[in-house]
Amino acid sequence: MDFNHSEDRRMLADTLRRFLAERYSLDTRHRISASERGYSPEIWGELAALGVPAALLGEPLGGFGGSGFDLMVVFEALGRALVVEPFLGLAMVGRLLADGAGRADLASGLLDGTQIAAVALYEPGARYDLTNVTTRAERSATGGWTLSGGKAVVPQLESATRIVVSARVDTGLALFIVPRDADGVSIKGYPLVDGGRGGELVLQAVQLPADTRIACGDDALGTIEAAVAAGIVALGAEAVGILDVIKDSTLDYLRTRVQFGVPIGKFQALQHRMATVAIEIEQARSAVINAAAALDDDRLARERAVSAAKVTLGRVGTLVAEESIQLHGGIGMTWELPLPHFAKRLIMIGHQLGDEDHHLERYVRLGRG
Amino acid sequence: MNVDFTAEDIAFRDEVRAFLRERLPKALSEKVRTGKHLTKEDMVGWHAILESRRWLASHWPEEWGGPGWSVVQRYIFDVEIALAHAPRIVPFGVNMLGPVLLKYGSDEQKKRWLPRILDGSDWWCQGYSEPGAGSDLANLKTQALRDGDHYVVNGQKTWTTLGKYADMIFCLVRTDPSAKKQKGISFLLIDMKTPGIEVRPIVLLDGDAEVSEVFFTDVRVPVENLVGDENLGWTYAKYLLTYERTNIAGVGASMAALDQLKEIARSEQKDGKPLAEDPQFAARLARVEIELENMKTTSLRVLAAAAHGGAPGAESSMLKIRGTEIRQEISSLARRALGPYAQPFISQALDEGFTGEAIGADYAAPIASQYFNQRKLSIFGGSNEIQREIITKTILEL
């Protein structure tokens, strides 16, 4: 048992944090976030050159990482800088293409940043149910596939060159890689409340060659779960990075803001709330460590750990976001202050890959076996 | 980062389990499992069994009789003895005074008192709280004035857990009446048989007299029973408290209690189905289970980070708060799970040898009184509000 990250991972985290501190100020982030693309191709390329994609992908895909703790160090650093670049899709696609067979071209593009992956699993009206899929894939006359349907609120969808889509086939679920520029693919993009962009995906009789199907049947659902689990570890680590920033900046405010002639951090009503926030953040960190550690365990252990993490993050994220704004008072409501942007992201992480209620129910179901 | 137990850790766990299978008397674990009252002999006997393997003082250095375990081994041990329904180790000598003597005691004091803790010669109790010194512990008034080679002690201690069994008491006393608050306090070891000491039981809300008041009238204590320096006792007192708090967090106790709660929830029926399948109850149960899973990792992280494998400092306050919240929530859910059968309470049913008829399910008898008893968890060892004060000042630096 060892709660320190390995030397390699610490170095990667340091490099990434230094780069982001220099190149990704909050003003820069806001500018990128509000841009037409919703991400920065320039920064994306530089982060690829630093080896971040390689840290998120396993060896079969040409990377050197992809484990839970690799995701953890990278996304914690991304969270601290509130990065909007399309990393979540990359972290998840690593698990979808895990064996890498026949995907060498895609893998090399992901590694050097020339390909951007989005993972589109949820459908309008299906909330967080991964099996409630109405998108259909039919065998076409040429032996390929014809896909029709739609997907909901896909992060950084417009930036993607390849979109992994779940669809229903005769035998159950299947997964397909859809090129962004295929005929019949249309995207309705929009800004997100916490920054960056998302989009609705519409597929109208999209013709795909046979080899775009990467999994089907029980395999497909298993693969989807594994990818979502990796996504939850990534989001969880991002949340931990955000929680640490919020804690530091709120403490700073409590020490410096003077009312009634003393720093407001001298008031017990605020101190005890902040102590609770600090305890909860440590519990959230433990939950993410547990989930990261379980990412390569058997399905039941992994799924229970990631659902437990999402329940914890949902509860703690909401508490810390709301408390930090309240402890700041009016200034915590202003766009100008960094804090509320971190708080917004924290809350919206709760809306990705299943919310607290969804995962609590799921945790209970998994416990019954 | 690696949160898995190593092969050596697993082998150690198996060794502990094998020991418990062989040496933990079945009648004793059954008493613990069913929430019966333990006698002094039960507890002393269990200490002797552990000590026969040198496993009683798990965090003492080897030269003083500890087993030389790593932090992880100690954690495994604590969890396994709880899961096996062994009696908990009586903490006052082993886990409270022991660490203070090891760090601040003279060689002579270590040689004199530590072996007697291990062999059961002395049952220690804690003389900290007073009627006017609860959360404001440094407001204590019990006086010890020097008279030749003795201190003369006058005053009163209270909430002394299991004081009725004690041979010795470690006390915080005021040796300099003119000094303010924390200054002027000393740490004194007092023989409970000294003339002038009177112990009076306090009956608690569960009907049991677990704690006592201890009165001191002109009690003469030899000066060699002073630990460390005169008037520096507050430092030793705080050091002891970090051990006490870490101990109270009780991850192992929560794990055992959660197992029992799940059993109850599977057995109790609601609308013709096990209570465990009721969505509301299942959700609350899942939440506390998740918190406990998080807590396991948090406490291992804190323990691993503590220097030299000792007790953590202010982080022990975090463990105490969340650990006791979890323990209390589990006991609260167990009480709720019983429905109307939480109400019957025949206190004799918790005594050894009770032959009367049980009311309700066989697990029901102790549940509600345990729930009431466990209200203490967020009060003693420094109330959870005091822990938040410590976190505020020491960790948050506000």
The whole-angstrom distance between A308's CA and the closest CA on chain B is 6
Could you give the number of structural domains in chain A?
A: 3
Judge whether A2 lies within some domain: no
Could you give the number of structural domains in chain B?
A: 3
Q: Any idea what the CATH number is for the domain that residue A201 is in? A: 2.40.110.10
pLDDT (tens place) for every residue of chain B, 398 residues total = 888 889 999 999 999 999 999 999 999 999 999 999 999 999 999 999 999 999 999 989 999 999 999 888 999 999 999 999 999 999 999 999 999 999 999 999 999 999 999 999 999 999 999 999 999 999 999 999 999 999 999 999 999 999 999 999 999 999 998 998 899 999 999 999 999 999 999 999 999 899 999 999 999 999 999 999 999 999 999 999 888 887 788 999 999 999 999 999 999 999 999 999 999 999 999 999 999 999 999 999 988 887 555 667 788 899 999 999 999 999 999 999 999 999 999 989 999 888 888 899 999 999 999 999 999 999 999 999 999 999 999 999 99
pLDDT at B308: 56
Strand partners, B214: B157, B199
Mean pLDDT of A252-278: 98
**Nearest Cα to Cα of residue B1 among A16, A91, A55, A288:** A288
Angstrom distance (rounded) from CA B388 to CA B395: 10
B257 shares its domain with B216: no
Identified catalytic residue from B244, B268, B291, B315: B244
Last residue of a domain, one of B199, B231, B263: B231
The answer to whether A256 contacts chain B (CB < 8 Å) is no
pLDDT at A257: 98
Written in H, E and C, the secondary structure of chain A is CECCCCHHHHHHHHHHHHHHHHHCCHHHHHHHHHCCCCCCHHHHHHHHHCCHHHHHCCHHHCCCCCCHHHHHHHHHHHHHCCCCCCHHHHHHHHHHCCCCCCCHHHHHHHHHCCCCEEEECCCCCCCCCCCCCCCEEEECCCCCEEEEEEEEEEECHHHCCEEEEEEEECCEEEEEEEECCCCCEEEEEEECCCCCEEEEEEEEEEEECHHHEEEECHHHHHHHHHHHHHHHHHHHHHHHHHHHHHHHHHHHHHHHCEECCEEHHHCHHHHHHHHHHHHHHHHHHHHHHHHHHHCCCCHHHHHHHHHHHHHHHHHHHHHHHHHHHHHHHHHHHCCCCCHHHHHHHHHHHCCCCCCHHHHHHHHHHHHHC
Judge whether B174 lies within some domain: yes
Cβ count near B207 (within 10 Å): 12
pLDDT at A1: 80
Cβ count near A239 (within 10 Å): 30
Angstrom distance (rounded) from CA B59 to CA B309: 8
The whole-angstrom distance between B178's CA and the closest CA on chain A is 29
Judge whether B107 lies within some domain: no
Judge whether B327 lies within some domain: yes
B386 shares its domain with B280: yes
A209 shares its domain with A255: no
Last residue of a domain, one of B62, B89, B116: B89
Judge whether B144 lies within some domain: yes
**Nearest Cα to Cα of residue B280 among B318, B237, B337:** B337
B380 shares its domain with B264: yes
A171 shares its domain with A238: no
Taking contacts as CB-CB distances below 8 angstroms, the residues of chain A near B387 are: 275
pLDDT at A184: 98
pLDDT at B310: 60
pLDDT at A369: 60
pLDDT at A368: 82
Q: Is the pLDDT of residue A342 over 80?
A: yes
pLDDT at A103: 78
CB B143 within 8 A of CB B155: yes
CB A343 within 8 A of CB A324: yes
pLDDT at B235: 96
A28 shares its domain with A139: no
A203 shares its domain with A229: no
Is the four-CA dihedral A362, A364, A369, B2 of positive or negative sign?
positive
Judge whether A155 lies within some domain: yes
**Nearest Cα to Cα of residue B295 among A70, A317, A118, A312:** A312
Mutate to test the interface with A, among B76, B259, B294, B329 (most CBs of A within 10 A): B294
A249 shares its domain with A204: no
B227 shares its domain with B268: no
The answer to whether B72 contacts chain A (CB < 8 Å) is yes
pLDDT, tens digit, 9 for 90 and up, residues B173-212: 999 989 988 999 999 999 999 999 999 999 999 998 999 9
A354 shares its domain with A281: yes
Q: Is the pLDDT of residue A101 over 70?
A: no
Interface contact flag, A3 B301, Cβ < 8 Å:
yes
Mutate to test the interface with B, among A285, A286, A360 (most CBs of B within 10 A): A286
B270 shares its domain with B379: yes
B313 shares its domain with B201: no
Element (H, E) at B80: helix B71-83
B190 shares its domain with B69: no
pLDDT at B311: 65
Judge whether A1 lies within some domain: no
Taking contacts as CB-CB distances below 8 angstroms, the residues of chain A near B397 are: 251, 255
The answer to whether B266 contacts chain A (CB < 8 Å) is no
Strand partners, B160: B212
B199 shares its domain with B288: no
The answer to whether A248 contacts chain B (CB < 8 Å) is no
Judge whether B118 lies within some domain: no
pLDDT at B230: 97
The values of phi and psi at residue A173, to 5°, are -95, 155
Interface contact flag, A308 B398, Cβ < 8 Å:
no
In which residue are the tokens 């299943």 written? A354
Q: Any idea what the CATH number is for the domain that residue B344 is in? A: 1.20.140.10
A162 shares its domain with A187: yes
CB A87 within 8 A of CB A41: no
A155 shares its domain with A58: no
pLDDT at B243: 83
B279 shares its domain with B328: yes
Facing B290 at nearest CB: one of A9, A69, A363: A363
**Minimum CA–CA partner of B293 in chain A:** A287
Range of the domain at B150: 124-231
Q: Is the pLDDT of residue A285 over 60?
A: yes
Last residue of a domain, one of A81, A115, A149: A115
The answer to whether B352 contacts chain A (CB < 8 Å) is no
B256 shares its domain with B386: yes
Interface contact flag, B298 A283, Cβ < 8 Å:
yes
Range of the domain at A182: 118-216
A278 shares its domain with A318: yes
The answer to whether B253 contacts chain A (CB < 8 Å) is no
A95 shares its domain with A42: yes
In which residue are the tokens 């779940």 written? A166
The whole-angstrom distance between A165's CA and the closest CA on chain B is 32
**Active-site residue, B289 included:** no
pLDDT at B314: 82
Angstrom distance (rounded) from CA A365 to CA B35: 30
Q: Any idea what the CATH number is for the domain that residue A314 is in? A: 1.20.140.10
Q: pLDDT band at residue A3, thresholds of 50, 70 and 90?
A: confident
The answer to whether A277 contacts chain B (CB < 8 Å) is no
Judge whether B241 lies within some domain: no
Q: Is the pLDDT of residue A221 over 90?
A: yes
Last residue of a domain, one of A173, A189, A216: A216
Q: Any idea what the CATH number is for the domain that residue A25 is in? A: 1.10.540.10
pLDDT at B379: 95
B188 shares its domain with B286: no
CB A192 within 8 A of CB A349: no
**Minimum CA–CA partner of A291 in chain B:** B294
Last residue of a domain, one of A216, A240, A273: A216
pLDDT, tens digit, 9 for 90 and up, residues A65-75: 999 999 999 99
Taking contacts as CB-CB distances below 8 angstroms, the residues of chain A near B321 are: 275, 279
A130 shares its domain with A197: yes
Q: Which two tokens stand for residue B93?
A: 């000598």
Taking contacts as CB-CB distances below 8 angstroms, the residues of chain B near A265 are: 396, 398
B67 shares its domain with B137: no
A233 shares its domain with A354: yes
CA distances, A217 to each of A101, A173, B195 (Å):
18, 5, 82
Mutate to test the interface with B, among A364, A365, A368 (most CBs of B within 10 A): A364
Mean residue pLDDT across chain A: 95
What value of ipTM does the predicted structure carry? 0.93
Angstrom distance (rounded) from CA B297 to CA B395: 19
